[in-house]
Amino acid sequence: MKFRLFANLKIKSLNNLLSMPQLLNTVSLVPDFTNGLLPMNIIKYVSEKGCVFLNYLQDILGGPEKFHPFLVFCIENRRILTSDRFKTSLYEYFSHKHKILNIAVNWDKWFNEPRFPASHPYIMDRRKTFWQGQADLWIAQRIPSFDTIGLDQSNDLAIIEFLTYLLTLSTVLAAYQLRKIEHEFLRDQNICEI
């Protein structure tokens, strides 16, 4: 069997991804530990919400070209970055975007309340990768063929991403689609991730 490290592939932890919407109904970005929760019980889920929050800020402030230098600035100039320091640094760095930040970001809801603010619903397919988009096309086909979406059986990483995305969808696949997946990918497979 082949084993790989997927640290740089942007494939999320499947368990966290599958249970994230339910967990975010109870965990705030700045957790309140006075209700008896231990940090070790929730800290692994806060990072996903924080990542979505940073992506949201990036989107409203002009994209990665504008936002990445701000993150570098924060890391270089602050040893400890609290929520208040982060907010202050953001307003200082983007001094020309105060109006956008004041209108678009509900700081209290992002930091202190569970769930996403109503202005930013959690949508799993918000930023699909190429293979996630191809999976959507494949699901829509009446006669499923992996040739039409360019999924080559020798591309193990694409297969893993494709199957992982299918697993996270709420869509119920038809029996013929499941048979096609089983026939193409799950028989005689020597890759543990698949």
**Other Cβ atoms within 10 Å of 44 Cβ, number:** 14
Report if pTM > 0.85: no
pLDDT tens readout for residues 93-123: 999 999 999 988 888 888 887 777 766 654 4
Interacting residues of 31 by C-beta distance below 8 A, sequence separation 6+: 37, 39, 42, 43, 46
- The answer to whether 107 and 117 are in contact (CB under 8 A) is no
**pLDDT single digits (tens) 27-63:** 566 666 566 555 555 555 556 677 778 888 888 888 8
Domain boundaries, the chain: 13-123, 130-186
Which structure tokens are listed for 126? 């918000």
Q: For 58-96, write each residue's pLDDT tens digit.
A: 888 888 888 888 888 887 876 667 888 889 989 999 999
Q: Using the structure block, give the residue that is written with the tokens 């700045």.
A: 30
Question: Nearest Cα to 165, choosing from 50, 18, 2?
Answer: 18
Contact in structure between 144 and 174 (CB atoms under 8 Å): no
Interatomic CA distance for residues 96 and 83, integer angstroms = 21
* CATH number among 3.40.50.1470, 3.20.20.70, 1.10.390.10, 1.10.580.10, domain 13-123: 1.10.390.10
Two structure tokens written together for 106: 């509900």
